[in-house]
Structure 1
């Protein structure tokens, strides 16, 4: 076998292909790694030869930077092939993806290629790629600057059934901006609840523009909604019937001040006290994005439970974007209609729209242009240059601050209070001061649960909350999202861009977690597992998406997870000195 000469830099950027192959290599057993004189090579045997992926970098958690194009080796001769051709060969190889029915193969292939087309279309349409790679970014820019999507997903920008015109009008990667849709509901249709003194309908009414309020019938309440969802519901016979009989009124759209954040269905307007997160009858990545009453009630519970915890003093800079109210309408049977549900989320940036509050996924996403780097690495290179300090020292100092501002509060709540926040990259909004972590906002209260420690602290509860997780479940979800999905994305980005060796960061990470063992008082099971388990569990997005299941309604989501060698089990925190930046907030 002859290995082709490989360039030292990426020959081009292909974020969509990177996401696809990262997911495949993490989950498939039908390939092997070869180390050549030109670097590491992932070799995928296919029916008519081999596909070769040249690796610019491979992180401890498996995230790779690739050198394109993919090479097809047959009869000893390597030839470049495009992504669609490589995909065909992979889907025709059971050793890589299992036995596939023709229809399943066709649907998966179509969705993967559509996602790649969507990614490229958004890249081609942007005139700010340099800014997205260099920063600084405010909240809105960062939310609409996540162009690559989930780093371990075969089709992170799939968005069925959005048309191209709808994508342009409603998707964050196209910098969409639009008005909220508004309904008026008769009392018999009204549904909602709140954990605050004011009713949910009163809180929502505060968002209604005066020009629309003039048309609100007496005794009716208001329901804000994503305009695409409102379009879909307008077409339903039941909705049309309610409008004809006067129980449901269409009020119209507000001014186009609202923009979709990276999740698509969460909407933000600068200077407004609430964000609006609603159901979206669309399949984004693995799930149909419909809220449920069970999920929206979690926000009310979390808002109530956290009032007594004195979080601001215990964990300076940390806060939860609480979701203390939800609204919707009742269907013909009197049940809450999931398609109508919305939650109101605290906008903790209402008075600081231009501050640097950046979703972690945008900070760490792979390069969007040839020879580029992550936004995080670009910021730290600039910081090191301005301070005249070594890159590795700056990177380690930044990572130490990240651990303190992110891992300490999230592990602290889990260990001491039994409150578990599933902090994946899109749920962590880092608060930065001149690029330096000074705090974080956690969002998405639907992704919250409680452990046994919570039950110990609340013996008055007659029965456990519905989102009480036993230890094994807590270990699986919490450590996947916070460590594998989020923290290892940071170590991978810094190492792949050449700022610091990843092994050094893993030693620093282990030292921080061992320090938390001493600092925190409570249920240390999850923290001990993170440090000592030979394997953690990672969500298998590739085969979940290939199977076509709806992750949100899966009865046993644990079956989506697979073992991943724990990078922390192979390092030991030395008394090694972790150098902090001087003269910069840490």
Structure 2
């Protein structure tokens, strides 16, 4: 008998009429922003229970005025939940009666419960409430405007489609689509989830005001000149350097008195905007044009989720150094299919103190897709985001159901069923482990280079839907260890600022690569009903154990993830509630908290099974 998932994949495209798309986009039983909020809340708070009721598993969340009941479709080993909305509320003293609970009221109950969120000042509480509700509205508006959800679900996707298909945002964040100070009109003009395309803005910077660096034979200005349109090149004054910038940032800066003063004395000349349109990628501040040799990542004086998105000289220097170092490491031979989108140059202007102005900085990032813009290179975060509709399939799950159906239809294949789905899911995950985990752990263990590969920084290379490689991006999220200095002493004159201790590597590297990225894969595949998550965790453990035998170098972090009872996980809920700017926080470690390690002992069993205690939904 054909497995229901396989039958669904075979008929979905034919049966999803345009008139049905609206009900698919906005599904009261599958509230994506509410799921992100509650996942973050539950990960970082205590006092709630998982219970098994006659109608299925639920979470009992006590609040000041009663109890919130969250119905569960699935809970993963890392704690990611898929909920069945709406939630229900039972007030104290009402004999167990419950009623449906809208999200705004749920939020009010949570913020009124000091046992969950602590004491809150009125202004802090109201700011958080408004930002959470704005993020929810932003998500729902972008979903309502999309007419390509079926294409996103089944692909194949170009790089730009996948970047602009990240509609839910971080699965563990209370406001993953917050984007102050953009209003609705600006969001449609500049934000990727609205499929925006923008013109690249250009300045000319005088030599006395220029700040730049390059690790390539060409200086940064020469590299940037390759992006400058001919229509603007003639306006470039002799000796000046062209500086590309996000158009919103350029308009913001042109209103600042200090920038007007620089224009008045000819340290800056405004060139205008290009005719070529660029795609804002999932990070908003990075822009991509299919045939351009570089992507442009620039500062954006906007608060997106936890941080004001301004580059610093320290961060952009990391990219220049990493590019120089990695040219000596022969990674293409050692790790086939793996590459870094290097950031070998940066530009900006100097402020009145002579320092690079963070608001002006722009990084040139390699565009390895320039000659293969139609190839399938999706960002991992889009593939693993929670499903758009109550059918319950992530983009990754939908893709694998299709692949399993094709395998089952091959000559000589057995009848498609559950085994076919599980084999396909485990095969895909094995390819993911080899193409993603092997090179990233390999660089850390053998070379002492740590790349913080959260799922928005992992761009997969797919061949017929199958992982054959990956690109790592965002060189600001990189560090080196003492092992790097010992093994590659000839590459450095002095210890760099991003020389990380073992404790730092243990905290950040597993969080980004395992908890944020790899457990998102296992969670999606299990929640989609394709495979038991315990099997994937066993496969992951086996792969990491094999790497421990295969790699030679500093095995400390690899040993840590295989043996530590807990791993560190970033607390996005309370970081956002506090209102701090994560990017400039003096001690980011204080944002982290322990999470039971699903790879050790029976941790996964405990999360998935033992904690589902018997109870009754009042």
1:82-121 aligned at under 5 Å gives the runs 82-121=102-141
1: distance between equivalents of 2:178 and 2:552?
43
Q: Which residue of 2 aligns with 1:187?
A: 207
Q: 1:36 aligns with which of 49, 53, 70?
A: 53
2: distance between equivalents of 1:462 and 1:335?
23
- Cα pair 2:453 2:517 within 8 Å, conserved: yes
* Partner-residue secondary structure (3-state), 2:98: strand
2: distance between equivalents of 1:386 and 1:336?
55
Q: Which residue of 1 aligns with 2:72?
A: 55
Cα distance, 1:571 vs structure 2: 5.7
2: distance between equivalents of 1:417 and 1:247?
43
Q: Which residue of 2 aligns with 1:536?
A: 567
Cα distance, 1:129 vs structure 2: 1.0
Cα distance, 1:478 vs structure 2: 0.1
* Partner-residue secondary structure (3-state), 1:169: helix
Cα distance, 1:257 vs structure 2: 1.8
2: distance between equivalents of 1:272 and 1:32?
52
2: distance between equivalents of 1:567 and 1:39?
23
Q: 2:436 aligns with which of 380, 386, 406?
A: 406
Q: Which residue of 1 aligns with 2:291?
A: 271
1: distance between equivalents of 2:335 and 2:465?
20
1: distance between equivalents of 2:63 and 2:602?
36
Q: Which residue of 2 aligns with 1:5?
A: none
Cα distance, 1:247 vs structure 2: 2.1
1:192-231 aligned at under 5 Å gives the runs 192-231=212-251
Cα distance, 1:238 vs structure 2: 1.3
2: distance between equivalents of 1:95 and 1:463?
49
Cα distance, 1:462 vs structure 2: 4.9
Q: 2:487 aligns with which of 446, 449, 457?
A: 457
**Residues 67-88 of structure 1: per-residue CA shift (max 9 Å, x gap):** 0001001220110010000000
Task: Find out whether 1:45 has 2:75 as its counterpart.
Answer: no
Q: Which residue of 2 aligns with 1:392?
A: 422
Q: 1:69 aligns with which of 86, 98, 108?
A: 86
Cα distance, 1:133 vs structure 2: 1.4
Q: 1:485 aligns with which of 510, 516, 520?
A: 516
2: distance between equivalents of 1:60 and 1:284?
28
Task: Find out whether 1:517 has 2:548 as its counterpart.
Answer: yes
* Partner-residue secondary structure (3-state), 2:292: coil
Q: 1:144 aligns with which of 164, 187, 198?
A: 164
Question: RMSD in angstroms over aligned alpha carbons?
Answer: 1.2
* Partner-residue secondary structure (3-state), 2:30: coil
* Partner-residue secondary structure (3-state), 2:176: coil
Show structure 1 runs of 5+ residues with no match: 1-9, 574-586
- Cα pair 2:596 2:603 within 8 Å, conserved: no
- Cα pair 1:510 1:571 within 8 Å, conserved: no
Aligned length: 564
Q: Which residue of 2 aligns with 1:333?
A: 353
1: distance between equivalents of 2:252 and 2:338?
38
Which stretch of structure 1 is more off in the superposition, 146-155 or 66-75? Answer: 66-75
- Cα pair 1:506 1:571 within 8 Å, conserved: no
**Residues 369-426 of structure 1: per-residue CA shift (max 9 Å, x gap):** 2324101000100011111151000000000000000000000000000000000000
**Residues 5-34 of structure 1: per-residue CA shift (max 9 Å, x gap):** xxxxx9622110110000000001131211
1:168-183 aligned at under 5 Å gives the runs 168-183=188-203
Q: Which has the higher contact order (CA 8 A, sep 6+)?
A: 2
2: distance between equivalents of 1:223 and 1:289?
18
Q: Which residue of 2 aligns with 1:22?
A: 39
Q: 1:467 aligns with which of 498, 519, 528?
A: 498
1:488-499 aligned at under 5 Å gives the runs 488-499=519-530
Change (3 A) 1:153 1:572: closer
* Partner-residue secondary structure (3-state), 1:432: strand
Q: 1:262 aligns with which of 279, 282, 290?
A: 282
- Cα pair 1:530 1:568 within 8 Å, conserved: yes
- Cα pair 2:226 2:293 within 8 Å, conserved: no
**Residues 462-496 of structure 1: per-residue CA shift (max 9 Å, x gap):** 53211011111101100000000000000000000
1:346-425 aligned at under 5 Å gives the runs 346-388=366-408, 390-425=420-455
Superposition TM-score, scaled by structure 2 size = 0.90
Change (3 A) 1:126 1:352: same
- Cα pair 2:597 2:603 within 8 Å, conserved: no
**Residues 308-340 of structure 1: per-residue CA shift (max 9 Å, x gap):** 111011100000000000000011221110000
**Residues 338-364 of structure 1: per-residue CA shift (max 9 Å, x gap):** 000000000010000010000000000
1:259-338 aligned at under 5 Å gives the runs 259-338=279-358
Superposition TM-score, scaled by structure 1 size = 0.95
Q: Which residue of 1 aligns with 2:6?
A: none
Change (3 A) 1:469 1:340: same
1: distance between equivalents of 2:178 and 2:232?
34
* Partner-residue secondary structure (3-state), 2:39: helix
Task: Find out whether 1:426 has 2:456 as its counterpart.
Answer: yes
